[in-house]
């Protein structure tokens, strides 16, 4: 079997198109564009690159971008004060504080200070609780993008066996909640799981969010399974170059899976598209407008 490639770039482009339509409609109704504030602390190069692409995508979708670059030495109190100002700013519909924050800053204190209605990363405990109880909140972008790819590929997910490998608050746990909400039978695996290959072999859907390059081998997969590879780690190659690798041994998986996301070009583009989607949804909710169609 040669697995079908799930094209995350194409799916993300379609979603971004729908977001741009929703943003234009919002502008027509309110006289302003949805606004996303991005906070970057320090000089961490990968974070700076993520922030650049998020800002570019925000502007391309016809939304307003508010950029706050702060020195690594900023105090926790000053950062909280900035979050308070953004919470109170009516032009700002979404607030994204790029992680990781410097060691002296308490991440949780900052993330829980963000107004849940503007928490477009979906990391606030209120939004995590809304997701867990099946209510409407803002859902973390990466798992939301994974769910959209799965629904595009498989349609109705009801009754399918799904395993999520990884239980982080950012990816694994919300992913499992979304799959449960879609009526999958969900297993959450982690570093203490026994017989992980057997657990994976039982699953129609495999979402790997571990951060261990190529850990999930081809012979762990059920033939025909749909595989979503969230992992992205830069790994030095024998020739000194660095290659982006996922958590799944891609070449092996191609022979067994029914469909699989590549790395890069799978989950990554959907994460940014879902950030824009969440910003548009938050903007509509804050203005009392109905949720835009297709988002």
Cβ neighbours for 276, distance < 8 A, ≥ 6 positions apart: 15, 16, 19, 36, 57, 58, 61, 63
Q: Which token pair is 188?
A: 């959450």
Which residue's CB is nearer to ligand NAP, number 30 or number 193? 193
Q: 3-state class of 13 per DSSP?
A: helix
Sign of CA dihedral 74, 76, 77, 82: positive
Least separation in angstroms between CB 47 and ligand NAP: 12
Sign of CA dihedral 218, 222, 224, 230: negative
Least separation in angstroms between CB 257 and ligand NAP: 18
Catalytic residue (choose from 93, 119, 121, 247): 121
Which residue's CB is nearer to ligand NAP, number 105 or number 272? 272
Q: CA–CA distance from 47 to each of 40, 79, 212, 292 (Å)? A: 8, 17, 20, 30
Cβ neighbours for 156, distance < 8 A, ≥ 6 positions apart: none
Q: Is 204 a catalytic residue?
A: no
Least separation in angstroms between CB 71 and ligand NAP: 25
Least separation in angstroms between CB 96 and ligand NAP: 13
Q: Which residues bind ligand NAP (CB under 6 A)?
A: 142, 165-168, 170-172, 189-193, 196, 209-212, 230-233, 267-268, 271
Residue 189 near residue 207 (C-beta atoms within 8 A): no
Which residue's CB is nearer to ligand NAP, number 40 or number 117? 40
Least separation in angstroms between CB 229 and ligand NAP: 9
Q: Is 222 a catalytic residue?
A: no
Which residue's CB is nearer to ligand NAP, number 65 or number 271? 271
Which residue's CB is nearer to ligand NAP, number 104 or number 190? 190
Q: Supply φ then ψ for residue 59, to 5 degrees.
A: -65, -40
Q: Pairing between strand 242-245 and 233-236?
A: antiparallel
Sequence length of the chain is: 295
Q: Is 56 a catalytic residue?
A: no
CA nearest neighbour of 261 among 274, 243, 271, 248: 248
Active site residues: 54, 98, 121
């Amino acid at each position: 079997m040669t697995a079908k490639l799930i094209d995350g770039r194409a799916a993300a482009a379609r979603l971004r198109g729908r977001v741009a339509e929703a943003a234009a409609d919002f502008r027509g109704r309110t006289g302003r564009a949805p606004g996303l504030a991005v906070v970057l602390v320090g000089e961490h190069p990968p974070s700076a690159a993520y922030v650049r692409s998020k800002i570019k995508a925000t502007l391309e979708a016809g939304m307003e971008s508010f950029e706050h670059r702060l020195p690594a030495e900023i105090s926790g109190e000053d950062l909280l004060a900035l979050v308070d100002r953004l919470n109170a700013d009516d032009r700002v519909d979404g607030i994204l504080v790029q992680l990781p924050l410097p060691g002296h800053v308490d991440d949780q204190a900052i993330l829980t200070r963000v107004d849940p209605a503007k928490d477009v990363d979906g990391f606030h405990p209120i939004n995590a609780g809304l997701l867990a109880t099946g209510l409407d909140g803002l859902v973390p972008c990466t798992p939301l993008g994974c769910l959209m790819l799965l629904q595009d590929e498989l349609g109705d997910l009801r009754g399918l066996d799904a395993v999520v490998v990884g239980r982080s608050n950012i990816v694994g746990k919300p992913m499992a909640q979304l799959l449960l909400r879609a009526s999958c039978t969900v297993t959450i695996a982690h570093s203490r799981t026994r017989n992980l290959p057997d657990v994976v072999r039982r699953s129609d859907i495999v979402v790997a969010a571990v951060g261990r390059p190529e850990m999930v081998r081809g012979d762990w997969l059920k033939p025909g399974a749909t595989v979503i590879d969230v992992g992205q780690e830069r790994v030095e190659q024998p020739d000194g170059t660095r290659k982006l690798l996922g958590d799944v041994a891609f070449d092996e998986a191609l022979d067994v899976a029914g469909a699989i996301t590549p790395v890069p070009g799978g989950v990554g583009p959907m994460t940014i598209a879902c950030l824009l989607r969440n910003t548009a949804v938050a903007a509509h909710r804050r203005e009392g407008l109905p949720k835009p169609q297709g988002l």
